[in-house]
Amino acid sequence: MSKLLTLIASTAVLLAATSAHAQQSGAADYPNKPVRVVVTVPAGGGVDTVTRLVTERLRQKLGQPFVIENKGGAGGNIAAESVFQSDPDGYTLMASQPAPLTTNVVLYKKLNFDPTQFEPVAIMSSAPNVLLVKNDFPAKTLAEFMTYVKANPGKLNYASQGPGTTSHLTAELFNKLAGTTLVHVPYKGTGPALIDIAAGHVDLIFMQLEAAIKLHEGGKARILAVTTDKRIAALPDIPTMGEAGLKDFISDTWNAISAPPKTPAPIVAKLNAAINDVLKMPEVQEQYRKQLLQPGGGTPQDMAKVMKEDTARWSEVIKEAKIPQI
């Protein structure tokens, strides 16, 4: 009997070793054909720009093309569903903004995928959001803004890129933390919202820095605060929302790579290491500086932590603001 148990144990060890070797070999050979990267926005969008910058360097580093396929729509859900149902072999990846991995599970009545089952690979970049007010807004500083808003409950409005977007949720986070009642004016995208901010038809917007800074520098609108935990190099004189007493007011927009559920860990690790190497390249960092982006990086576990924290924070905001499901 003891010989039989010994044989069974030896066989189990051999099978485990063989399986581990097979996985490692798969990672060693990966990629040996083109990799498809499904982007959750149309060509030219923020995620698309960052993805093309990063994947071109991945092609150089890993020796295979990374082919971009844009599948915009439904807040990123169309692309996410496509990738979720793909083979978990590392040859189909998703490049996305946070929404399909975090808030959409609360904002949409039905999803044909489970955001928590994606394999996080790496965050490519993050971009700070800012508080942008129309040029003739009565308050000239963040401190004055806080006083003015609280003295005029329900009288001020804010633009957004549309229901459930980062600009919408960030403004509702402000309402929650500051105890204010800014009124929502949804637009269909960034362009129309910023046009009306510049024209003075709407009071303010919480917007990604890259989109807001041209109006700020051109004197058509004014940035009063950044929504990061620290001041940023591009606007060293602009305070954080935390400096106005809202210490938990953090809002940024990140772009990340994810893989279908059950993609082998060695493949995820190889992609993660390659992306981290790409983000350290001087030419990539220079492009990020020009686009006012912060490099991402870190481990898949770091990305999973960010996803979990963002889902919890924004889900609470969505529920408290009673934002209707789509």
Amino acid residing at 55: T
pLDDT confidence band for 24 (50 / 70 / 90): very low
Tell me the longest C-alpha to C-alpha distance in the chain. Answer: 88
Whether residue 113 is predicted with pLDDT greater than 70 in this model: the reply is yes
* pLDDT confidence bin for 190, thresholds 50/70/90: confident
Q: Hey, how many other C-beta atoms are within 10 angstroms of the C-beta on 25? A: 11
Give residue 17's pLDDT band: very low, low, confident or very high (50, 70, 90).
Answer: very low
| pLDDT for res 211 | 87
pTM of this structure: 0.84
Is residue 38 scored above 90 in pLDDT?
A: yes
8: pLDDT strictly greater than 60: no
Average pLDDT for 228-243: 94
Tokens 């969505």, residue?
318
Picking from 3-17, 26-40, 76-90, 186-200, which range would have the lowest pLDDT averaged per residue? Answer: 3-17
Q: What is the mean pLDDT of the chain?
A: 91
Q: Which helix (H) or strand (E) holds 13?
A: helix 2-29
* 137, 282 contact by CB (below 8 A): no
Instruction: DSSP letter for 226, please.
Output: E
pLDDT band at 26 (very low <50, low <70, confident <90, very high): low
* Neighbouring-strand partners of residue 36: 67, 92
Find the mean pLDDT for residues 131-139.
97
Provide the pLDDT confidence category of residue 88 given band limits of 50, 70 and 90: very high
Q: 3-class secondary structure for 190-224?
A: HHHHHHHHHHCCCCEEEEEHHHHHHHHHCCCEEEE
Among 25-34, 48-57, 196-205, 233-242, the range scoring the smallest mean pLDDT is: 25-34
* pLDDT at position 5 over 80: no
Contacts of residue 170, defined as CB under 8 A and 6 or more positions apart, other chains included, come to 129, 206, 227, 251
Helix, strand, coil share (%) of the chain residues, nearest 5: 50, 20, 35
For the chain, what is the radius of gyration of the CA atoms? Answer: 23
Which two three-digit tokens encode residue 240?
């954080």
